């Protein structure tokens, strides 16, 4: 039986914006990088509007995306939306959401909504 296997294409780390950071993310990532919160915020984040804080984008990808290896440089402490992807809560809500999300993930595009609901894609072969 097929199971979901990330293709490590890096598509989910690319684009003009990144995910929003929580206070806990800031503390965890700064600590992981051995930086003060102040320096982490200055070097690696950008404010969007009043309340939103995001990781910076460099060369059209998240600043923590390693272009050579197609890897996340902060994998153990990456924000929850990154950990959840491509299975955010919304994907379980309806087929329309599933179809939108799968457009952004080559590995997910190999599966149907029925596969998702039957959880076949999480079982090992």
In the complex, least distance from residue 73 CB atom to ligand SF4, rounded to whole angstroms:
7
Is 100 a binding residue for ligand SF4 by CB under 6 A? The answer is: no
DSSP-derived secondary structure for 56-123: -EETTEETTEETTTTEETTGGG--HHHHHTT--GGGGT-HHHHHHHHTT-TTGGGS-HHHHHHTGGGS
Is 101 a binding residue for ligand SF4 by CB under 6 A? The answer is: no
In the complex, least distance from residue 54 CB atom to ligand SF4, rounded to whole angstroms:
10
Is 78 a binding residue for ligand SF4 by CB under 6 A? The answer is: yes
Q: Binders of ligand SF4: how many residues, by CB under 6 A? A: 22
């Amino acid at each position: 039986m097929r199971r979901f296997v990330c293709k490590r294409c890096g598509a989910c780390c690319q684009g003009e914006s990144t995910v929003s950071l929580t206070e806990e993310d800031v503390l965890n990532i700064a600590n992981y990088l051995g930086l003060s919160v102040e320096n982490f915020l200055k070097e690696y984040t950008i404010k969007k509007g009043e309340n939103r804080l995001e990781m910076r984008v460099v060369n059209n990808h998240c600043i923590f995306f390693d272009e050579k290896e197609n890897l996340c440089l902060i994998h153990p402490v990456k924000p929850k939306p990154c950990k959840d992807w491509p299975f955010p809560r919304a994907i379980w809500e309806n087929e329309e959401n599933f179809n939108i999300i799968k457009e952004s993930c080559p590995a997910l595009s190999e599966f149907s909504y029925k596969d998702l609901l039957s959880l076949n894609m999480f079982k090992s072969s």
